[in-house]
Structure 1
Amino acid sequence: MASKWYGMGVVVVGVTAVLAGCADTGGVKGAVQPVAGITATKTLYERLGGKSAITAVVDQFVANVAADRRINSRFASTDIPKLKGHLVDQVCQATGGPCTYQGRDMKRTHLGMQISSADFGALVQDLVAALDAFHVPAGEKSELLGMLGSMKKDIVELP
């Protein structure tokens, strides 16, 4: 059961990691580079308020999932402190922060769990509630939710 809780929780941050990773030019020739003397736009990590703010949202998100009868049975045997640590690191890294997520990729993590679209939707609703509880601005919330939506294909196995 622990792997199911870990897997579902990692969903949220996994999405952000994938999309944020896509933003890295990796030294690709022709990629847009910052111009000296011009202040770059703040990263999503900075706009969210850094690691302490991400930690607070993750704590609330995990509490929401634990109270959610639609999906909480999947997480009955989860190591909650470990899960929270992975989630914080993954969101931190994915949003441009200094953390390093060292967990598994989303497809491998969720393979065989038979996660449905309804399960995924419940998880997203729990995340939205956590973001709303901390008054995360609409733009930042949309970025995070967009990242989550893009991971659905790697997580959901059932209609």
Structure 2
Amino acid sequence: MERSMASSLYDRLGGEAFVDVAVDRLYQKLLDDPRVNYLFKGFSLDRLLAKQKAFLSVMFDGPRQYNGRDMRLAHAHLHLHEVHFDALLEQLAETLFELGVGVQEIAEVTGIASSFKDDVLHRPG
């Protein structure tokens, strides 16, 4: 069965309700992950979750507005490395799998996330 080209990734994943649940679960995993959990100390989790939900909505062609800083500026002070980015991708894929997302959509989501790698790690690109 061929999927409609008009159907955004946001809609195929399940829209706002899905993004909300996925981000909440993802951040619980990240907060439990010793590779990255210390990075969230001192941040308002509610504010971070709201920004991440808005950001992903925009990235998945959803309706929310994202008014945060660009990825390079937002992450520059964190001095992130490959291990941090790998942890995020691993936890993201695992979260999506647990929520019943198909392999193709998981690849699309992780591909979108990966497209920000140089900016998040503050590398030339």
State the TM-score, normalizing by the size of structure 2.
0.90
2:83 to 92, 98, 118: 118
The percentage of counterpart residues that share the same residue type is 28
Using a 3 Å threshold, how does the CA distance of structure 1 residues 79 and 125 change in structure 2: closer, same or farther?
same
Where do 5+ consecutive residues of structure 2 fail to align? none
Aligned to 2:96: 131
Per chain length, whose mean CA-contact separation is higher, i.e. which structure has more relative contact order (CA < 8 Å, sep 6+)? 1
Shift of 1:130: 1.0
Aligned to 1:43: 8
Aligned to 2:67: 102
Tell me the secondary structure at the aligned position of residue 112 of structure 1.
Answer: helix
Higher Rg: 1
Tell me the secondary structure at the aligned position of residue 111 of structure 1.
Answer: helix
Tell me the secondary structure at the aligned position of residue 104 of structure 1.
Answer: coil
Distance 1:40 1:121 in 2: 30
Where do 5+ consecutive residues of structure 1 fail to align? 1-38
State the TM-score, normalizing by the size of structure 1.
0.71
Shift of 1:41: 2.7
Shift of 1:40: 4.5
Q: Answer whether contact 1:116 1:157 (CA < 8 A) is retained.
A: no
Aligned length: 120
2:111 to 138, 146, 157: 146
Amino acid in the other structure paired with 1:103: G
Shift of 1:61: 0.2
